[in-house]
């Protein structure tokens, strides 16, 4: 009986641990939920961004709620205002763990617009 | 008991009020600063009328403003991006000198769009000719096709872009008529920066707009009108 209880305990600990944290360190910035729940976003954010980018660039329909700029505005680190600056930055940490190349930020700015404007104000 | 509840209510009310006051201006600004979720209308055609009589030789305020707005280096080497440039021309027979800014003419029938193999070069419904850098493969056919030499190729990696103006190595770019500003209801940077108000920006299709009214009364020309591209940028006094 004690053995079964012990086994159960060992069996439960990893699952509890897995639901409570990610296997990598992640700075979610201001965070919060504005589009969909986090699990849905983890799986589908790229579809939203791709859809939004074509609508915005080619038709001029700028849906502010799902634009990359708005994502960065909330998810940039509160320390350095960036989603790409460090290994545990919001975009970098996950993409590195999943080994998915992230090339949005070869052209797009990875820092908060509000911070960029403040820094570049004359 | 009721006294305690009243205190609690008062506290909740004041804190809610304070929170609303703190958040509201930010929310309002955030909403106002962004464009519409609706696609742009094909009824509009954005254009400019450039009065070369007002354009002063040696002045390059529009070029500087464009560089600052779009994050260009300002260099003039063949490998530097130039979205707008000042040119001085002289009629040899009369000696009359003219100064004017030259940039993407936002044609109705743009040759750059015709030649693009990936449909990256395109004309938006409101007449602005743009490069979709998500599709651009950097072949530079559009640069060859453009009669105005209006486009540039990005040769080097770019860092610290304006969040409103993404730019990147390996793609072609050109004057976007400050599309990010237009979508926010602002005017292009060159038009607002001109000290002599030589650049008039507006909707060519709206008969009540200042630009359409002025085009009705003054003589204006399109550069290389013989190509029948029907440019959105018109020049006065050329």
Q: How many CB atoms lie within 10 A of CB B101?
A: 25
Let me know if B205 is exposed, middle or buried by CB neighbors in 10 A (0-12, 13-18, 19+): middle
Do B233 and B84 touch, CB atoms closer than 8 A? no
Are residues B110 and B16 part of one domain?
A: no
Question: Do the domain assignments include residue A62?
Answer: yes
Which residues of chain B are within 8 Å of residue A60 when distances are taken between CB atoms?
35, 39-40, 124-126, 179, 183
Question: Do the domain assignments include residue B41?
Answer: no
Are residues B134 and B108 part of one domain?
A: yes
Which residues of chain B are within 8 Å of residue A113 when distances are taken between CB atoms?
163-164
Question: Do the domain assignments include residue A65?
Answer: yes
Are residues B85 and B140 part of one domain?
A: yes
Q: How many CB atoms lie within 10 A of CB B105?
A: 26
Strands (E) across A58-105 are located at: none
Residue B73 tokens, joined: 């280096």
Q: Read off the pLDDT of residues A54-79 as tens digits, 9 standing for 90 and up.
A: 999 999 999 888 999 999 999 999 99
Question: Are A57 and B132 inside 8 Å of each other by CB?
Answer: yes
Runs of H (alpha helix) within chain B? 2-32, 61-70, 111-115, 141-145, 179-182, 189-193, 210-217
User: pTM of the predicted model, to two decimals?
Assistant: 0.81
Question: Do the domain assignments include residue B130?
Answer: yes
Are residues B186 and B136 part of one domain?
A: yes
Are residues B140 and B24 part of one domain?
A: no
Are residues B5 and B108 part of one domain?
A: no
Per-residue pLDDT of chain B (238 residues; tens, 9 = 90+): 455 567 777 766 777 666 655 555 444 444 444 567 889 999 999 999 999 999 999 999 999 999 999 999 999 999 999 999 999 999 999 999 999 999 999 999 999 999 999 999 999 999 999 999 999 999 999 999 999 999 999 999 999 999 999 999 999 999 999 999 999 999 999 999 999 999 999 999 999 999 999 999 999 999 999 999 999 999 999 8
Question: Are A59 and B125 inside 8 Å of each other by CB?
Answer: yes
The confidence score (pLDDT) of residue A97 equals 92
Domain count of the fold of chain A: 1
Question: Do the domain assignments include residue A2?
Answer: no
Are residues B116 and B193 part of one domain?
A: yes
Question: Are B160 and A109 inside 8 Å of each other by CB?
Answer: yes
Are residues B139 and B24 part of one domain?
A: no
Are residues B188 and B143 part of one domain?
A: yes
Which residues of chain B are within 8 Å of residue A35 when distances are taken between CB atoms?
none
Domain count of the fold of chain B: 2
Question: Do the domain assignments include residue A30?
Answer: yes
Question: Do the domain assignments include residue A9?
Answer: no
Segment B226-229 long-range contacts (CB within 8 Å, at least 24 positions apart): B227/B111, B227/B147, B228/B109, B229/B105, B229/B107, B229/B108, B229/B109, B229/B110, B229/B111, B229/B147
Phi, psi dihedral angles at A69 (to 5 degrees): -60, -40
Domain span at B186: 46-236
Chain B contact for A114 (CB, 8 A cutoff): no
Q: Which residues contact A13 (CB under 8 A, 6 or more apart)?
A: none
């Amino acid at each position: 009986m004690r053995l079964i209880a012990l086994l159960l305990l060992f069996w439960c600990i990893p699952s509890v641990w897995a639901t409570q944290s990610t296997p990598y360190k992640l700075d979610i910035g201001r965070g919060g939920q504005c589009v969909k729940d986090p699990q849905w976003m983890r799986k589908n954010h790229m579809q939203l961004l791709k859809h939004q980018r074509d609508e915005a660039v080619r038709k001029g329909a700028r849906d502010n709620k799902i634009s990359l700029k708005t994502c960065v505005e909330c998810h940039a680190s509160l320390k350095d205002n960036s989603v790409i600056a460090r290994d545990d930055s919001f975009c970098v940490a996950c993409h590195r763990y999943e080994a998915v190349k992230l090339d949005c930020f070869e052209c797009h700015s990875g820092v908060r617009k509000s911070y960029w404007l403040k820094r570049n104000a004359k | 008991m009721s006294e305690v509840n009243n205190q609690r209510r008062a506290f909740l009310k004041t804190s809610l009020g304070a929170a609303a006051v703190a958040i509201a201006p930010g929310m309002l600004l955030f909403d106002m600063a962004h464009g519409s979720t609706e696609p742009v209308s094909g009824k509009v055609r954005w254009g400019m009328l450039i009065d070369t009589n007002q354009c002063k030789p040696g002045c390059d305020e529009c070029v500087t403003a464009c560089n600052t707005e779009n994050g260009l280096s300002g260099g003039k080497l063949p490998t530097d991006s130039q979205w707008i440039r000042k040119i001085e021309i002289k009629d040899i027979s009369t000696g009359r000198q003219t100064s004017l800014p030259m940039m993407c003419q936002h044609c109705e029938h743009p040759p750059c769009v015709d030649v693009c193999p990936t449909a990256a070069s395109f004309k938006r419904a409101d007449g602005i000719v743009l490069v979709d850098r998500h599709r651009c493969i950097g072949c530079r056919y559009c640069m060859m096709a453009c009669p105005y030499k209006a486009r540039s190729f990005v040769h080097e990696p770019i860092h610290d872009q304006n969040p409103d103006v993404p730019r990147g190595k390996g793609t072609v770019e050109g004057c976007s008529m400050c599309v990010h500003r237009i979508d926010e209801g602002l005017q292009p940077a060159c038009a607002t920066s001109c000290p002599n108000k030589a650049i008039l920006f507006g909707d060519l299709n709206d008969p009540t707009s200042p630009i359409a009214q002025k085009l009705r009364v003054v003589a204006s020309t399109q550069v290389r009108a013989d190509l029948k591209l029907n440019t959105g940028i018109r020049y006065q006094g050329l």
